[in-house]
Amino acid sequence: MNPVLDALHFRHACKRFDPQRRIPDDQLREILECARLSPSSFGMEPWRFLVLRDAALRERLRPACWNQAQITDSSDVIAILTRSESLVADGDYAHASYARRGLPSDKMRASLERYGNYLDSEVRPLMSLYAWASKQCYIALANIMTAAAAVGIDSCPIEGFEKSAVERVLGLPDGDFQVAVLVALGYRAGGQTPRFRHAFDEVVAFR
Ligand SMILES: Cc1cc2nc3c(=O)[nH]c(=O)nc-3n(C[C@H](O)[C@H](O)[C@H](O)COP(=O)(O)O)c2cc1C
């Protein structure tokens, strides 16, 4: 059997964490390494992973997150931050992202132009750069949860928050980095909640 299936059967959105148990540092770092290795559109890696460990900070964060207990009772909360307007094709960040590939200048220009055209024709008409970059961040989110589950660590993805209040608590007012999503990590206290999924044939089609 595909070993990832085991992890995905173990994973659930953990509502009750054991507040006494901490994730060993080396395991947390490996989970973050799985996040760092995530793919992203055009290789832009639009993320930052802010690990929230400080108890007082998390107490202040909790009311901004619908007062969810996972914020204070988990071992660690990772705030996945996303770039937004700094992703523009004529900006320093996009330039540096391509420059590290060591492309000759004509190829570099062509790549940036293709990237800019994509943003203009496919992204901007549909969504903000924040929304586009957040989609990449959710790939990292999935990798974090699966990597955690593979070593018996529970998680809860958290989108139930008031974005501007979270950013105020984290000290990110009006900056380019904005919060995309949070994920709490730790160890379950009690059993797993029931899982509801549509049947395979309802959601999978072959053509
Ligand atoms: C992006 C995202 C945001 C979520 N936000 C929350 C949240 O704020 N609080 C919560 O308890 N669960 C949250 N969930 C968990 C979902 O409710 C849960 O994944 C879904 O009901 C399926 O259950 P399972 O993950 O246990 O299989 C979120 C899930 C995702 C993917």
Condensed to tens digits (0 to 9), the pLDDT of residues 32-62 reads: 999 999 999 999 999 999 999 999 999 999 9
Q: How far is the CA of 183 from the centre of ligand 1 (A)?
A: 10
Which of 67, 138, 139, 156 best tests ligand 1's pocket when mutated (most atoms within 8 Å of CB)? 156
Every domain of the chain and the residues it spans: 3-84+137-193, 88-127
Residue 81 backbone dihedrals phi, psi, to 5 degrees = -100, 145
Of all protein residues, whose CA lies closest to atom 31 belonging to ligand 1?
A: 157
- C-alpha 106/C-alpha 100 separation (Å) is 15
- C-alpha 50/C-alpha 92 separation (Å) is 22
The average pLDDT across 134-161 equals 98
| CATH topology assigned to domain 3-84+137-193 | NADH Oxidase (3.40.109)
The SS3 assignment for 50 reads strand
Chain centroid to Cα 36, Å, comes to: 10
Q: Which ligand 1 atom is the nearest neighbour of the CA of 138?
A: 1
- C-alpha 171/C-alpha 87 separation (Å) is 21
Give residue 173's pLDDT. Answer: 74
Residues having CB within 6 Å of any atom of ligand 1: 12-13, 15, 68, 156-160, 181, 193, 195
Condensed to tens digits (0 to 9), the pLDDT of residues 3-18 reads: 999 999 999 999 999 9
Residue 200 backbone dihedrals phi, psi, to 5 degrees = -45, -50
Q: Which ligand 1 atom is the nearest neighbour of the CA of 181?
A: 1
Give residue 191's pLDDT. Answer: 84
Q: How far is the CA of 185 from the centre of ligand 1 (A)?
A: 13
Condensed to tens digits (0 to 9), the pLDDT of residues 58-86 reads: 999 999 999 999 999 999 999 999 999 99
- C-alpha 101/C-alpha 37 separation (Å) is 17
The pLDDT of residue 174 is above 80: no
CB 73 within 8 A of CB 17: yes
| Of 171, 40, 50, 51, the residue nearest 93 (C-alpha) | 40
Instruction: Please state, rounded to an integer, the average pLDDT across all residues of the chain.
Output: 96
